[in-house]
Every structure is written in C-alpha cells, then in structure tokens.
Amino acid sequence: MFAAKKGGHTGTLDPMATGLLPICFGEATKFSSLLLGAGKTYEATLRLGYTSTTGDAEGEISLAPGGNREEELALPQVEAVLQSHTGLIMQKPPMYSALKHKGKPMYVYAREGVEVERQSREIFVKDLRAEAISNDEIRIVVECGTGTYVRTLAEDIGRALGCGGAYLTALRRTVLGSFSLSHAFTLEAIENLPLNERDHCLLPIDHLVKDLRAVRLNAMAAASLRQGRKVENYSCDHSLMEEERVRLYDEENYFLGLGEVTAQGEIAPKRLLNLVSRPH
C-alpha cells in the first residue's frame, strides 16, 4: 500500500488480540528494535471460573475446579487482588508462546501435547485496574513492561479471586511506547485513501526515539559523524551522562540517527540514517 522497499513490524500480537501494531518502513526499520522493551497498555476481558488450554478464547474451554461459585464478587475484593498483582512480580510463561526451546517456539510443543518445564520470570506491571464487573466477567486495563503475558495474568487473577482460574475473551493493545491506538489507522482506512494521500498517515522516523534527549551538530561535526568519527562540537539543552543515548540533528534540524556519550563527553555514532535517504 505504501510501495516501500523494506518494512517490518515491532512485535507480534496473539492471534485473538486486536489493537495497535506499529509498522516501520525503509530507514525506520533500523530503530524498530527500540520498541521491543517499551511499555504497553492492554484492555482485556476475563471470564472467571473457566480455563483454556491457550489462556484465551482460541483454546479448549473447561470449567475450572471450584469455578461454579454462586456469590458475586465485590469491587473491593477485586481491587485488592489486582493490587497484589502490580509492581515487580514473578510469572511463568505459558506453553502457547513464541519463546524458544531447543530452537522451536513453545507453541509447537504445546500443539503436540508436550509440556516443557518453564522458569518463572520477573515482570513489571505498572498499573492494573478494573473497568467493569459483570457476573463472571471482569474488564481490566493493564499497563505493563515487556515480557508480560496478559493471558497468564488473567489465569493468576482468577485463581486469586477463588474462581479456580480465568481466560481471556478479548484482548486489545492500546499503547506501545509513545504510540497510541487513537492515532492509528486500520488497513481498510489506508486502502481507501488515494495513493498520493497515504504518506500523510506516516510519522517521522525520529518519533521512534522522541523520549531520548536531542543533540544538534554543526555542519563539520555532522560530516565527521557520518564518517564514523566521534564528535565534541555539539549543543544540547542539558548536561549529558556517560553512555547516554541521544538523538542527533544537523543545523537544518534534519534527523541523523542515534549517538552515545563517551566517557570523554564526546558523541559516538551508534545508528545513523543513510545520507541518500534525506528528503529534498
């Protein structure tokens, strides 16, 4: 749809999941890996008292042990359990995941009925709150760090609530790093645009690194940097720390790429755009 010579996504979603998926084209693919560790926000719906082989509606559903409870959940009880699952917590990755074991994704073993031993890992859940509670369903919003499996979080919440477990009936990613679903476009919307208007949907490359501090170089320093040399003639609004990564611009405010501060206070090139990619 964009006639791009090169493109790549910034992390997969579960088959059932919907929502935000940033796509990088051309030179932007050099910086897509920076989003792998970015924070994420999800909207999820949990069905309590049932379990799924995959942790979501894609799997085989069965009644959880002790899942046929009759008393309704009170909001304070739910909030207390959600609070206990925030911060730094341990989580065991699910079998239905893309994590590798002996060179093969875990889900390959899961589909063959093979259970592989997994070690629990530390994850970070910044915020976890209930949006709605209705009968055996809870709708939650999760703000979390990389490596968090919301499916596993749902199962743990269901057990902590005394429901025997839970599985996801819906999962939607709304935020990834500095990107928000509210600014995204559906594939259908892009397809319906005339070819000459589609580029208006694209963000500039430096949007990927806008959380880094900006450094500006004069013409001579920019030329030296492009030749792979460290530079010391630069301007920045703040003092920089050793090993700090910064986004680099020339005198015309054109984005050059990323640099890193050395122990001597110089800027070393780390990942630069090709000169030929500069627009006229």
More confident residue, 181 or 72: 181
Long-range CB contact pairs, 56-64, < 8 A, 24+: 56/14, 56/16, 56/151, 56/167, 56/168, 56/169, 56/171, 57/16, 57/167, 57/168, 57/169, 57/170, 58/14, 58/15, 58/16, 59/96, 59/167, 61/167, 63/164, 64/158, 64/163, 64/164, 64/165, 64/166
- pLDDT, mean of residues 87-100: 92
Report the distance separating Cα 167 and Cα 75, nearest Å. Answer: 19
CATH topology of domain 40-176: Pseudouridine synthase (3.30.2350)
Whether 243 and 257 have beta carbons less than 8 Å apart is answered as: no
Task: Give catalytic status of residue 211 as yes or no.
Answer: no
CATH topology of domain 212-277: 2.30.130
Q: Which two structure tokens, joined as six digits, stand for 76? A: 């304070």
Q: What is the pLDDT of residues 202-227, one digit of tens each?
A: 999 999 998 899 999 999 999 999 99
pLDDT > 50? residue 280: no
Percentage of the chain surpassing pLDDT 90? 73
Domain ranges of the chain: 7-36+179-205, 40-176, 212-277
- Going by C-alpha positions, the residue among 167, 163, 173, 145 that lies closest to residue 81 is 163
Whether 89 and 123 have beta carbons less than 8 Å apart is answered as: yes
Amino acid identity for residue 27 in this structure: E
Helices and strands (DSSP H and E) totals, the chain: 5, 18
CB atoms within 10 A of CB 151: 27
User: Which residue of the set 14, 56, 136, 206 is catalytic?
Assistant: 14
Q: Does the fold of domain 212-277 match that of domain 40-176?
A: no
Report the distance separating Cα 248 and Cα 230, nearest Å. Answer: 13
Q: What is the pLDDT of residues 113-137, one digit of tens each?
A: 999 999 999 999 999 999 999 889 9
Using 50, 70 and 90 to split pLDDT, how confident is the model at 275? low
